[in-house]
Amino acid sequence: MLKNKLPFLGRRRPLVAVVRLNGVIGRVSGGGRGLNLQGLERRLDSAFKVRHLVAVAVSINSPGGSPVQSELITQRIRDLAAEKDVPVYTFIEDVGASGGYWLACAGDEIYAGNSSIVGSIGVVSGGFGFTELIQKLGIERRLHTSGEKKAMNDPFSPEKPADVKHLRALQRDIHEGFIGLVKVRRGEKLIGNDRAIFNGAYWTGARALKLGLIDGIGDLRAVMRSKLGEDVKFKVFDERRSWVQRRLSVSTLAGYRNGVGFADDFLAALEERLWWNRFGL
């Protein structure tokens, strides 16, 4: 695809649009954080509309999150790449794991650092059970449903084998979809059997290269300069906060002074921290 853009190189410096995708994928409670298509669509569209564009480079730093949003964002990038006929290169920074690696598969080529965390091609669900705690506290759980499966995996009720079986079936479906995407995008580049690659493990960038999960070791600017020359230009499309968002931030700070909103944002930060902690970050 890149060769189609080479006629521009003799007349002007090649231009690469850079899109940064940082954070947990999906909605993180409190403050509306998280990567999702609704929040990214305008930024992605703008990146692919740059005049004389020769490539799009996507910088990824994400521990994963929602498989739905991972799929939507990845598909949007691929649709735009096909529409504009430009290649996409993805670059994993600290971590591109689980949904983060899903996003990386939007690239025609994937790069990472030697010590980047790459992979975790699997599905995880987590929660807590409080049945013994509420018994000790003398609390009576009252739960009324219409539909025998409506309250599956309720954390205040004893875990049921049938509910766990249902959850695992859902995870298996999502996992198979994830595996299918990786196989389509990486194809014959993958080295090793499915069990070794798709068991949910994660590796350093150096090891991921040996497994065929990435195409090379290198950072965004160095790789793009090696492909397009030292005079390549970069136009960065990062998150921008509107006037309304800035005003809301001021209102949030005012709310903190009155004790409002602090607990929600604290829990949101804790939730996000747990995602990163899975990879020692």
pLDDT digits (tens), the chain, 281 positions: 555 555 544 457 899 999 999 999 987 654 456 899 999 999 999 999 998 899 999 999 999 999 999 999 999 999 999 999 999 999 999 999 999 999 999 999 999 999 999 998 887 766 566 666 666 777 767 666 777 766 666 666 777 777 777 777 887 888 899 999 999 999 999 998 898 899 989 999 999 999 999 999 999 999 999 999 999 999 999 865 444 444 444 444 445 555 545 555 555 555 566 656 666 55
If asked whether residues 8 and 140 sit together in one domain, one would say: no
pLDDT of residue 168: 77
Distance CA(213)–CA(121), nearest Å, equals 11
Distance CA(205)–CA(212), nearest Å, equals 10
Helices (H), the chain: 37-48, 67-84, 99-104, 131-136, 161-186, 194-197, 205-211, 220-228, 243-257, 262-277
Distance CA(207)–CA(201), nearest Å, equals 12
If asked whether residues 106 and 150 sit together in one domain, one would say: no
If asked whether residues 10 and 112 sit together in one domain, one would say: yes
If asked whether residues 69 and 106 sit together in one domain, one would say: yes
In a domain, 265, yes or no: yes
pLDDT of residue 43: 95
pLDDT of residue 253: 46
| Widest distance between CA atoms in the chain | 78
In a domain, 190, yes or no: no
Burial state string for 196-213 with b = 16 or more CB within 10 A and e = fewer than 16 = ebbeeebbbbeebbebbb
If asked whether residues 244 and 134 sit together in one domain, one would say: no
Pairing of strands 88-97, 216-217: unpaired
Residues of the domain holding 206: 2-120+201-277
CA nearest neighbour of 63 among 223, 202, 241, 221: 202
When divided into structural domains, the chain yields a total of 2
If asked whether residues 168 and 248 sit together in one domain, one would say: no
The CA-CA-CA angle for residues 211, 215, 216, to 5°, reads 105
Place of tokens 């002007």: 12
CA nearest neighbour of 66 among 95, 44, 33: 33
Cβ distance 86 to 37 under 8 Å?
no
62 φ/ψ angles, rounded to the nearest 5 degrees:
-150, 135
Pairing of strands 15-22, 88-97: unpaired
In a domain, 191, yes or no: no
